[in-house]
Amino acid sequence: MNRKPAFYLLSALLLAGGASCNLGKEAETRTTQAQVNKVTTEQHRPQFHFTPPSKWMNDPNGMVYHKGEYHLFYQHHPGSTTWGPMHWGHAVSKDMVNWEHLPIALYPDELGTIFSGSAVVDVNNTSGLGTKENPAMVAIYTYHSEKLEKAGRNDFQTQGMAYSLDNGRTWKKYEQNPVVKNPGIRDFRDPKVSWNEKAGQWVMTLAVLDHIEFYGSKNLKDWTKLSEFGKTAAAHGGVWECPDLFPLTVNGQLKYVLLVSLNPGGPNKGSATQYFIGDFDGKTFKSDNPLETTFWLDYGTDNYAGVTWDNVPKSDGRRLFLGWMSNWLYANEVPTASWRSATTVPRELTLRQTSEGVRLFSAPVKELQKLRAGTTFVKAQEVSGTLDLSNRYNLNSPLLELDLNLDVAQAQNVVLRFSNNKGEHLEVGYNPAQKELFIDRTKAGKTDFKDTFPGRHTAPLTLENGKLRLHLLLDVASIEVFANEGKTVMTDIFFPNEDFTKVELVSTGTTRLLDSKVYKLKPASGSETASTKVSDIR
């Protein structure tokens, strides 16, 4: 039975009321993600994934690190649990695991609602909006004018800018918005901005219908088009969205990775994210990918519109990613009560050389290890039939991390089955003959809310000598699978009527379970001293 505590009702009322206030006014509701988790017994509320306190969330936006905090802004409709007039929600974290929710950062104005975008720290004060001692945090986002769209015009999306001088706590819109006007194209959005040292300027990566356009600026205010990429490259089953461009090193060589989300056209239908590896000279991107080849960041159905954090310290050196854990096929219909959507866990992206060429690998960030409630070692053994891992290793929990090393050279099929007492189950497995990793959620609980939701989703995966490493993260309503160090990744959500507290390894033929580790996980704990604070509308 679901409950909506007073906190949720109050939060929802304040957020809805703030949306109708004058610009710059907002309902200040602060809480940690832990409090969001603990004050509710709502079914399907993730326990170690970021979720909004209430109402609708989709794309992560404005991800930037500054003064010891990871900032996460996100597409947010504070008046409904379905998509609507977009605002930027806001949260901060010191570790990407435990989050503090902050007031809404950006509200719609006369130029439009606030679609996706990015944020940077203008450390050299190129914009003149701050000082070198107190650099401005600058958000660059898409304005979506419903008024112009309804009038039948094509130029209803433009790029705007806002800035903060207090580490993202309050924001001021740039008086001369928009900073990039629309040339007459319906899909003209999702700017991802970063500083390019070689070019000595800011570079904006922008999604434009079926391709990417790059813009350059010395001051974040005045932008010039540099080049285009992608009209004939890779997947074009839907509109290109939410790009990201960033450098990574492989084999001692600097390369650039370009992420492009598209909807529809994913490998298992609906929305998904593809990537390109190539070179960027500060103006033009040249892909190493064959034009007809598509590389997918995640083969599951529920990792979309993800981008990476900007301004992560060089001493850290990681490229850190976060995605929206849903799919436009059914995002508005999923059976959650007071909120909709979560993010993936934060992931580190790396380039690695493989026998098939250079590929982008994903792995959960090391900070998630603090959620482990002790380590259980699994000794090597052969499995023919069913091994009840939950009973043997005390894994009767819906929050699990499994790091399994398998030899499937003599197996016809191997499956990890997560189940409950209602007969519902989720399967994650590998078929050696088909060289196929899969997730099957057809019997994982509630599926009838949308006919596009149930299904068996697959990903190609070729093994070397039959060796398969499966690193899995199970939350109450999601599974994230990182196969063979994260070369192949799958993310799916599901909605059981009762938590999955049983896990079995089922082998057709003989699977050798090699030395492995499994962990029960704790919910994200948040700040122990943080408190919920509701103040007056200001």
pLDDT tier at 362, thresholds 50, 70, 90: very high
Higher pLDDT, 520 or 7: 520
| 286 and 355 fall within a common domain | yes
pLDDT tier at 530, thresholds 50, 70, 90: very low
Residue 374 counted as domain residue: yes
Reported as a single tens digit per residue, the pLDDT across 82-114 is 999 999 999 999 999 999 999 999 999 999 999
Per 3-state DSSP, the chain is made up of helix, strand and coil in percentages (nearest 5) of: 5, 50, 45
Q: Which is it for strands 339-340 and 357-364: parallel, antiparallel or unpaired? A: unpaired
Say which CATH number the domain at 472 has.
2.60.120.560
- The structure tokens listed for 241 are 């969205």
| 375 and 490 fall within a common domain | yes
The per-residue pLDDT for 532 is 27
- Least confident range from 27-41, 129-143, 191-205, 230-244: namely 27-41
Say which CATH number the domain at 281 has.
2.115.10.20
Residues sharing a CB contact under 8 Å with residue 187, sequence separation 6 or more, in sequence order? 157, 207, 208, 209, 239, 240, 241
- Least confident range from 24-28, 411-415, 511-515: namely 24-28
Reported as a single tens digit per residue, the pLDDT across 419-463 is 999 999 999 999 999 999 999 999 999 999 999 999 999 999 999
| 253 and 322 fall within a common domain | yes
Angle formed at CA 526 by CA 523 and CA 91, multiple of 5 degrees: 110
- Least confident range from 19-33, 246-260, 296-310, 369-383: namely 19-33
Reported as a single tens digit per residue, the pLDDT across 266-319 is 999 999 999 999 999 999 999 999 999 999 999 999 999 999 999 999 999 999
| 316 and 384 fall within a common domain | no
The per-residue pLDDT for 33 is 73
| 212 and 339 fall within a common domain | yes
To the nearest whole number, what is the mean pLDDT of the chain? 92
- 281 included as an active-site residue: no
* Final residue before a domain boundary, out of 364, 386, 412: 364
pTM: 0.92
Of 349, 345, 348, 350, the closest CA to residue 368 belongs to 345
| 359 and 376 fall within a common domain | no
Q: What is the mean pLDDT of residues 125-139?
A: 98
Identify the bridge partners of residue 489 per DSSP, sorted by sequence position: 482
| 97 and 187 fall within a common domain | yes
Consecutive H or E run containing 421: none
Higher pLDDT, 30 or 487: 487
Q: What is the mean pLDDT of residues 349-371?
A: 98
* Final residue before a domain boundary, out of 308, 333, 364: 364
Of 279, 285, 362, the closest CA to residue 320 belongs to 362
Residue 292 counted as domain residue: yes
pLDDT tier at 10, thresholds 50, 70, 90: very low
| 467 and 500 fall within a common domain | yes
| 431 and 354 fall within a common domain | no
Residue 34 counted as domain residue: no
Residue 527 counted as domain residue: no
Residue 104 counted as domain residue: yes
Q: Answer yes or no: are the C-beta atoms of 64 and 311 closer than 8 Å.
A: yes
- The structure tokens listed for 20 are 């109708």
| 139 and 220 fall within a common domain | yes
* Final residue before a domain boundary, out of 364, 394, 417: 364
Q: Answer yes or no: are the C-beta atoms of 23 and 173 closer than 8 Å.
A: yes
- Count the domains in the chain: 2
The per-residue pLDDT for 2 is 35
The per-residue pLDDT for 394 is 95
Range of the domain at 317: 55-364
Amino acid identity, position 160: G
Cα 250 versus chain centre, distance: 24
The per-residue pLDDT for 38 is 58
The per-residue pLDDT for 31 is 74
Token look-up 């701050």 returns 130
Q: Answer yes or no: are the C-beta atoms of 81 and 56 closer than 8 Å.
A: yes
Q: What is the mean pLDDT of residues 499-527?
A: 93
Q: What's the rounded Cα separation, in Å, for the pair 486 and 478? A: 17
Q: Residue 537 pLDDT more than 50?
A: no
Task: Kindly report the length of the chain.
Answer: 538
Residue 345 counted as domain residue: yes
Reported as a single tens digit per residue, the pLDDT across 20-74 is 333 334 444 567 777 776 545 689 999 999 999 999 999 999 999 999 999 999 9
| 211 and 275 fall within a common domain | yes
| 205 and 115 fall within a common domain | yes
Residue 372 counted as domain residue: yes
Residue 194 counted as domain residue: yes
Q: What is the mean pLDDT of residues 175-192?
A: 98
pLDDT tier at 187, thresholds 50, 70, 90: very high
Q: What's the rounded Cα separation, in Å, for the pair 301 and 299? A: 7
Q: Residue 534 pLDDT more than 80?
A: no
The per-residue pLDDT for 26 is 42
